[in-house]
């Protein structure tokens, strides 16, 4: 029996969530809002009360033609004739339950690893719950928080099976679209999401469920802007760069920088010189207003404090909801445990259109715990060019975004195409703020050109690298000190040329 798993309600009778209300009333309200399957989950009450409550719930779910599944208790499911059961890894095993239940009973299994998921598929379970997506107060003794990246690995492992899939743990209105979008593996997507508190604890469960139905039906705002990648050929992309730069200058995007204090002034000047409008604000609540402009958000965690992460998360949420681009520069990502945690929290907490970093930072974003950075400079490289290209591509593919791995050669990928950029000048590595400026510049270009994010970022990098080459070639530039003002001048010169339709600066340069 195929189950519609799209909006899967899991009940909870604890006072913190039910708040003194009658469970059947709450569930009926949620059903009116569009819940497609209900799991009765009660870990505390005695069997007599479980049967009584399950029977009442079944009366309600039958009215809405929605299956009722009983968590753990095969006996309760049998007693009331429920449509099926949901079994955790420590509950009765699939084979035993299958023997006891009617032929057509629905059996779902909780899984949190590839092995568990594969076993459930091989056994013939109807669906698996995959969790824990995000840490949640509703269930704290979960095995592991796997996020969208871990969920994607599990989906990929069972791509050849028709088994149903739902994600569970910490899913709410602000992350449900991203959960569905970013978990998707090339051959298998989630069939739905399982929700406890965001529906059961809601003041209006019906309205909450309705909102979920609407969100589930549509891709996230940030995914709507980018159409599928077009031409791959480097020449075709390069030929479009001058017009993309012109477009960026015309759009005059606002770039909201949550950036470190070391480089703040320099980066603001860079943004001004390329024709964008910078605002430097570490205050997350300001994003609800700032996200309404044609613009982008840059998160640069170069001088992280105790307040940074909650502020970043607020701002990211505002921009994600609006669909405006967010750039993440995980400065010094692997340097300390605080920064490693911040990377995990931020990548779990929102969507980044672009992740930009040096080798150590990108490896940390990918999740290699073996990385130990010293300070925020890039340190000795351990990856060759091919490995860097592969890392950038794999991270972009997993996150469904664009990744820029910077170095003497920069590797840029959208998960399909990988481009190596050789331009630039060694002086860029001798002054602070130049790397951070790439994040800001990329944000400006992403805001101005939404249909091909790889081309947008490529245009920004080339404007930047060619300006650096032009600056270093000036006879009055004798070292990093005199390079800085010349660099700002040359960015401004390219911006002026682009605005006047003059592309001669670009010919033969990339």
From 120, 154, 196, 299, residue interacting with ligand 3NM (rule: CB under 6 A): 196
Burial 27-51 (b: 16+ CB within 10 A, else e): bbbbbebbbbbbbbbbeeeeeeebb
Residue 73 found at the interface with ligand 3NM (CB under 6 A): no
- Do 333 and 360 touch, CB atoms closer than 8 A? yes
Asked about 436 being catalytic, the answer comes back as yes
- Do 42 and 71 touch, CB atoms closer than 8 A? yes
C-beta closer to ligand 3NM: residue 198 or 258: 198
- Do 267 and 436 touch, CB atoms closer than 8 A? yes
Candidates 115-123, 189-197, 229-237, 249-257 — which segment interacts with ligand 3NM by CB under 6 A?
189-197
In the three-class reduction of DSSP (H, G, I as helix; E, B as strand; rest coil), residue 61 is classed as helix
> Helices 385-399 and 147-157 meet at what angle, rounded to 10?
90
From 33, 150, 170, 295, residue interacting with ligand 3NM (rule: CB under 6 A): 170
Q: Out of Mg ion, ligand 3NM, none, which partner does residue 91 contact, by CB within 5 to 8 A per kind?
A: Mg ion
Q: Out of Mg ion, ligand 3NM, none, which partner does residue 168 contact, by CB within 5 to 8 A per kind?
A: ligand 3NM
C-beta closer to Mg ion: residue 142 or 152: 142
Please give the structure tokens belonging to residue 261: 């204090």
Residue 169 found at the interface with ligand 3NM (CB under 6 A): yes
How far is Cα 212 from Cα 29, in angstroms, rounded to an integer?
A: 14
264: closest CA among 437, 430, 404?
437
C-beta closer to ligand 3NM: residue 97 or 198: 198
Site map for Mg ion, 72-101, x if CB under 5 A?
x---------------x--x----------
φ and ψ of 438, to 5 deg: -60, -40
Site map for ligand 3NM, 10-29, x if CB under 6 A?
x-------------------
C-beta closer to ligand 3NM: residue 139 or 356: 139
Please give the structure tokens belonging to residue 495: 């911006």
**Measured from the CB of residue 244, what is the shortest distance to ligand 3NM in angstroms?**
42
C-beta closer to ligand 3NM: residue 176 or 343: 176
How far is Cα 478 from Cα 340, in angstroms, rounded to an integer?
A: 38
**Measured from the CB of residue 219, what is the shortest distance to ligand 3NM in angstroms?**
22
In the three-class reduction of DSSP (H, G, I as helix; E, B as strand; rest coil), residue 500 is classed as coil
Classify strands 402-405 and 410-413 as parallel, antiparallel or unpaired.
Answer: antiparallel
Q: Out of ligand 3NM, Mg ion, none, which partner does residue 171 contact, by CB within 5 to 8 A per kind?
A: ligand 3NM
Residue 480 found at the interface with Mg ion (CB under 5 A): no
276: Cβ contacts below 8 Å, ≥ 6 apart: 248, 252, 253, 254, 255, 440, 444
C-beta closer to ligand 3NM: residue 194 or 327: 194
Cis peptide, bond prior to residue 132, ω within 30 of zero: yes
Please give the structure tokens belonging to residue 214: 């609407």
**Measured from the CB of residue 401, what is the shortest distance to ligand 3NM in angstroms?**
25
Residue 175 found at the interface with ligand 3NM (CB under 6 A): no
From 195, 270, 298, 327, residue interacting with ligand 3NM (rule: CB under 6 A): 195
Q: Out of Mg ion, ligand 3NM, none, which partner does residue 72 contact, by CB within 5 to 8 A per kind?
A: Mg ion
**Measured from the CB of residue 10, what is the shortest distance to ligand 3NM in angstroms?**
5
201: closest CA among 138, 126, 286, 244?
138
Beta strands per DSSP E along 275-398: 277-280, 295-300, 326-329, 354-357
Q: Out of Mg ion, ligand 3NM, none, which partner does residue 391 contact, by CB within 5 to 8 A per kind?
A: none
The CA-based diameter of the chain, rounded to the nearest angstrom, is 89
Q: Out of ligand 3NM, Mg ion, none, which partner does residue 424 contact, by CB within 5 to 8 A per kind?
A: none
**Measured from the CB of residue 199, what is the shortest distance to Mg ion in angstroms?**
20
**Which residues partner with 168 through β-bridges?**
194
From 13, 110, 364, 459, residue interacting with ligand 3NM (rule: CB under 6 A): 110
**Measured from the CB of residue 166, what is the shortest distance to ligand 3NM in angstroms?**
10
Q: Out of ligand 3NM, Mg ion, none, which partner does residue 405 contact, by CB within 5 to 8 A per kind?
A: none
229: Cβ contacts below 8 Å, ≥ 6 apart: 414, 416, 417, 452, 454
Q: Closest CB to Mg ion belongs to which residue?
A: 88
Classify strands 354-357 and 127-130 as parallel, antiparallel or unpaired.
Answer: unpaired
Options 24, 291, 436, 444, the catalytic residue:
436
Candidates 165-173, 205-213, 325-333, 351-359 — which segment interacts with ligand 3NM by CB under 6 A?
165-173
Distance, CA of 168 to chain centre: 16
Query: For binding to ligand 3NM (CB under 6 A), which residues are involved?
Result: 10, 110, 129, 131-132, 136, 138-139, 142, 168-171, 195-198
Query: For binding to Mg ion (CB under 5 A), which residues are involved?
Result: 72, 88, 91
Active site residues: 436
């Amino acid at each position: 029996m195929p189950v519609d798993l799209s909006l899967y309600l899991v009940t909870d009778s604890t006072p913190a969530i039910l708040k003194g209300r009658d469970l059947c009333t709450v569930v009926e309200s949620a059903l009116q809002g569009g819940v497609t399957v209900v799991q009765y989950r009660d870990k505390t009450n005695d069997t007599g009360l479980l049967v009584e409550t399950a029977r009442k719930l079944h009366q309600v779910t039958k009215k809405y033609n929605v299956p009722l599944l009983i968590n753990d208790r095969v006996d309760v499911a049998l007693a009331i004739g429920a449509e099926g059961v949901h079994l955790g890894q420590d509950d009765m095993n699939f084979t035993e339950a299958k023997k006891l239940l009617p032929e057509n009973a629905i059996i779902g299994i909780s899984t949190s690893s590839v092995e568990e998921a594969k076993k459930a598929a091989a056994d013939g379970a109807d669906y698996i719950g995959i969790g824990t997506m995000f840490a949640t107060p509703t269930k704290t003794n979960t095995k592991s928080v796997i996020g969208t990246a871990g969920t994607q690995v599990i989906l990929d492992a069972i791509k050849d099976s028709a088994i149903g899939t739902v994600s569970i743990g910490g899913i709410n209105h602000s992350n449900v679209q991203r959960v569905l979008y970013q978990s998707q593996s090339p051959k298998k997507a989630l069939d739905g999401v399982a929700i406890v508190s965001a529906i059961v604890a809601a003041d209006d469960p019906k309205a909450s469920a309705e909102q979920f139905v609407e969100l589930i039906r549509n891709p996230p705002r940030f995914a709507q802007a980018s159409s599928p990648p077009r031409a791959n050929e480097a020449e075709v992309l390069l030929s479009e760069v001058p017009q993309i730069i012109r477009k960026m200058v015309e759009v005059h995007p606002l770039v909201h920088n949550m950036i470190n204090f070391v480089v703040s002034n320099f980066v603001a000047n860079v943004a001004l010189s390329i024709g964008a409008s910078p605002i430097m604000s570490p205050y997350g609540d300001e994003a609800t207003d700032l996200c309404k402009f044609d613009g982008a958000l840059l998160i640069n965690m170069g001088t992280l404090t105790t307040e940074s992460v909650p502020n970043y998360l607020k701002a990211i949420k505002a921009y994600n909801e609006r669909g405006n681009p967010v750039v993440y520069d995980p400065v010094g990502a692997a340097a300390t445990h605080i920064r490693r945690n911040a990377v995990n929290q931020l990548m779990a907490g929102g969507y980044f259109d672009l992740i930009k970093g040096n080798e150590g930072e990108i490896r940390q974003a990918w999740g290699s715990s073996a990385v130990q950075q010293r300070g925020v400079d890039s340190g000795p490289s351990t990856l060759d060019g091919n490995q860097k290209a592969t890392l950038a591509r794999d991270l972009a593919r997993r996150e469904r975004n664009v990744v820029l791995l910077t170095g003497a050669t920069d590797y840029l990928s959208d998960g399909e195409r990988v481009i190596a950029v050789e331009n630039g000048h060694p002086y860029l590595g001798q002054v602070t703020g130049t790397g951070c400026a790439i994040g800001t510049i990329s944000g400006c270009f992403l805001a101005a050109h939404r249909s091909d994010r790889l081309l947008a970022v490529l245009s920004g990098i080339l404007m930047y690298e060619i300006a650096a080459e032009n600056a270093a070639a000036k006879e009055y530039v004798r070292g990093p000190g005199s390079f800085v003002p010349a660099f700002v001048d040359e960015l401004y010169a390219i911006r002026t040329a682009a605005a006047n339709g003059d592309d001669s600066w670009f010919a033969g340069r990339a």
